[in-house]
Amino acid sequence: MKKEDLSESGRLQDYAVVRFATHGALAGQVQGVDEPGLELTPPASKITDGPALDRDDGFLTASEVASLKLDAQWVILSACNSAGAAEGTAQPLSGLARAFFYAGARALLVSHWAVESDAAVELTTRAFAELENDPKIGRSEAFRRSIRHLILASRPANAHPSAWAPFAVVGEGAGQR
């Protein structure tokens, strides 16, 4: 089922958490695209139908995100530059982040620059474990604890801010009451 089918059918609203672990691109980084987006799995090479390719071209743009129908408590954008600007001179969080809020996300985990994949996996996995252990702490505190664990208990290179500093929790970071 394609992303539009999930959204149009209303099934996408059934997910409290939506996670992307992929490559993020700033506006202008993908040839022929003037907005930020997420690089997804490319369509099958046998697809040659123009409308089908427009619908599933393997790149989820900010405008496509904004048209989705979400009801997500948390959207995880474990990708480079997911908090980047919609265009070169725009404010940060004006691109993908804003589009996900328009679509119905209440909180986001985004990155402000390129991320290290192994650290991103450790951070997000640990944040969910922290929330599972204590659901009242909220997303921001869970992520803070995840960063602390990465610094203290992971490989030494992950103690450097370049491994964890790109990430930020934006939106409703508090726990559910």
pLDDT one-digit tens code per residue, 119-137: 999 999 999 999 999 999 9
Distance in angstroms (rounded) separating the CA atoms of residues 30 and 61: 10
pLDDT one-digit tens code per residue, 47-85: 666 665 566 788 999 999 999 999 999 999 999 999 887
CATH number, domain 3-171, options 3.40.47.10, 3.40.720.10, 3.30.70.520, 3.40.50.1460: 3.40.50.1460
pLDDT at 46: 65
- Largest Cα separation within the chain, whole Å, is 52
Tokens of 3: 């992303």
Question: How far is C-alpha 47 from the chain's CA centre?
Answer: 27
Q: Which residue has the tokens 């997420």?
A: 38
- With a CB cutoff of 8 Å and minimum separation 6, the contacts of 163 are 116, 119, 150, 157
pTM of the full predicted structure?
0.87
Please say whether the beta carbons of 96 and 36 come within 8 A.
Answer: yes
Distance in angstroms (rounded) separating the CA atoms of residues 132 and 140: 14
